[in-house]
Structure 1
Amino acid sequence: MTERRARRKPGENRERLIEAGLIEFGLFGFHGASTARIAARAGVPQPHVYAHFATKQDLFLAVCAIAIDIVADDLAAASLLASDATALRAGARSRVDGGDEANYVTRDSALQLLSQAIAALGASELRAHLAELLAELRTTLGADAFRATFGTVGESALRRALALN
């Protein structure tokens, strides 16, 4: 007899999809990630992806928004505690979307995803939304911190995308 898995709390599948999306999109980019792999990593059937997000693009943008929150929060905290070396170490953990205590992603995962988002600025179907999200992050962090985090290439890619919109 097959054991049934316990029912998940409302919103738990969405949280799992966001966490899995953060990892998959971070590793493979928008075009390289598949919703099948995201669903498998999240431990949910693939139709659940589209029950929570109308398109792969919507999932990617939602994941980018969460990653921006993680990075902005962690870098703001690190700048407040700049004298504390542990606050600046990679691997600082942030909670995703109010999930339970086991649902954490690293700041490094969020930064990796945002680097993929900067690369995806070249995709016309994503450009406007991504440029808006990344410009908001640049404003939150300040231009110097944004450039220090994503380099001059990231800064120039964002400027170019904003000019195209």
Structure 2
Amino acid sequence: MTERRARRKPGENRALLLQAGLNEFGLYGYHGTSTARIAARAGVPQPHVYANFSGKPELFFACLDGACELLSSAPSDTDSREAAALLVYQAIATANDPDHGPKIREQLDAAGYLEGEYRDRVLLSAAAQLTRGALVAPARVLG
């Protein structure tokens, strides 16, 4: 008989999926990752992605909201900020996507990431991480 894991608290799977999505989308972009990879990183069965989000786009936009919020808040741990910067970087790169670009641009514009010094600092931070080949460590849970 296999050992059963303890039941998670309500909302815990959602928080784990948001955290995993922050990392996966940040590292591989919207088109470079899948809900299966996100679920695996979160340690939850893939059907839980669809129990918590209508699909990959809704998960991405929730992660982008969390990343923008994290970057605009008081400084937190470095790993979290780096993961958030990578996700914003990937979102900017996807902003011309014909299907999701308008909503991505709307979110980035509302957070001040479409232009200006704030955007440039985030882009430089994310580009530095990518050029040194840094993998994002698990960051704090968004939610």
Q: How far off is 1:145 after superposition?
A: 2.3
Q: Which residue of 82, 86, 105 maps to 1:108? A: 82
What is aligned with 1:133?
107
Paired positions, count: 123
| C-alpha distance in structure 2 between counterparts of 1:109 and 1:136, whole Å | 20
What is aligned with 1:93?
77
| C-alpha distance in structure 2 between counterparts of 1:146 and 1:136, whole Å | 12
Do the aligned residues in 1 keep the contact of 2:89 with 2:122 (CA within 8 Å)?
Answer: no
Bigger radius of gyration, 1 or 2?
A: 1
| C-alpha distance in structure 2 between counterparts of 1:146 and 1:54, whole Å | 29
Give deviations 1:49-86, integer Å, cap 9, x for gaps: 0111111111101100000000111xxx35xxxxxxxx
Moved over 6 A (4+): none
Share of identical aligned residues, percent? 48
TM-score normalised per structure 1: 0.69
| C-alpha distance in structure 2 between counterparts of 1:53 and 1:8, whole Å | 17
Report the AA paired with residue 93 of structure 1.
D
| C-alpha distance in structure 2 between counterparts of 1:62 and 1:114, whole Å | 12
TM-score normalised per structure 2: 0.79
Q: How far off is 1:126 after superposition?
A: 1.1
| C-alpha distance in structure 2 between counterparts of 1:72 and 1:22, whole Å | 16
What is aligned with 1:33?
33
Q: How far off is 1:137 after superposition?
A: 1.4
Give deviations 1:19-71, integer Å, cap 9, x for gaps: 00011111110011011110011111101101111111111011000000001
Q: Which residue of 112, 118, 122 maps to 1:145? A: 118
Do the aligned residues in 1 keep the contact of 2:27 with 2:86 (CA within 8 Å)?
Answer: yes
| C-alpha distance in structure 1 between counterparts of 2:84 and 2:99, whole Å | 22
Whose relative contact order is higher, 1 or 2, with alpha carbons under 8 Å and at least 6 apart? Answer: 2
Report the AA paired with residue 69 of structure 2.
D
